[in-house]
A and B are shown apart, each in its own frame.
Chain A
Amino acid sequence: AQSVSQHNHHVILSEAASLELGCNYSYGGTVNLFWYVQYPGQHLQLLLKYFSGDPLVKGIKGFEAEFIKSKFSFNLRKPSVQWSDTAEYFCASKDDTGRRALTFGSGTRLQVQP
């Protein structure tokens, strides 16, 4: 079965620091990749997605992610975080086997200190 791994469970940064959250997926075929954000007490919102084409994907709020097929990775980055980025971040994948649902990673809790 496909799996998604997020190795950073809890990250604490100061404002203006750079962010990189790791995500690795296991499926070797065609895969769609997503990053979702969940602000405290809120539902999941899509930050960005990769389907095909340019492996560097830009999303909302200054986030970007790079798809590296050889490393099975889709790391999320932001050059300068803000206090309002405090949230939980989920990487997710969907493969092309016909199972349409997303497989989520365990999430990374980001805490940005002012």
Chain B
Amino acid sequence: DARVTQTPRHKVTEMGQEVTMRCQPILGHNTVFWYRQTMMQGLELLAYFRNRAPLDDSGMPKDRFSAEMPDATLATLKIQPSEPRDSAVYFCASGLVLAGGLGEQFFGPGTRLTVL
């Protein structure tokens, strides 16, 4: 049963600390997305990759957030330094781009981040 995995599931940290969230996309998927969910803003796209190359990270605060795909099985989202307003659930999703466009996106369980 293929699924997207994310670690950690929960993270509590203090303001100013570095936070790294990891995602393992479904094997064979060539597109990876990072979304953030908050009560105020709902679901927002932060960044996405196709074939490990970043295609759009316009939704991400550049000064503190960075997203990478060191290899096809791992995507990372890093916040340095973290701030209380970064508290949210961060979802990773993966999908397969076909000739006709992107099919379904499969979401991971999310990382619930609390920055004190």
A→B interface (CB under 8 Å): 32, 34, 36, 42-46, 49, 51, 90, 94, 96, 99-107
Contacts and interface: CB of A to CB of B under 8 A. Distances in A.
B50 interface: yes
Given A43-B91, A107-B42, A32 B101 contact: yes
Contact of A49 (B31, B43, B104, B107): B104
A17 B110 CA distance: 32
A109 B87 CA distance: 21
Given A100-B48, A102-B33, A104-B35, 8 more contacts: A43-B91, A44-B107, A51-B100, A94-B101, A94-B102, A100-B50, A100-B97, A105-B42
B55 interface: yes
A104 B42 contact: yes
Interface of B: 31, 33, 35, 42-45, 48, 50, 55-56, 91, 93, 95, 97, 100-102, 104-110
Chain B contact residues, majority secondary structure? strand
A44 B91 contact: yes
Contacts of B45: 101-103
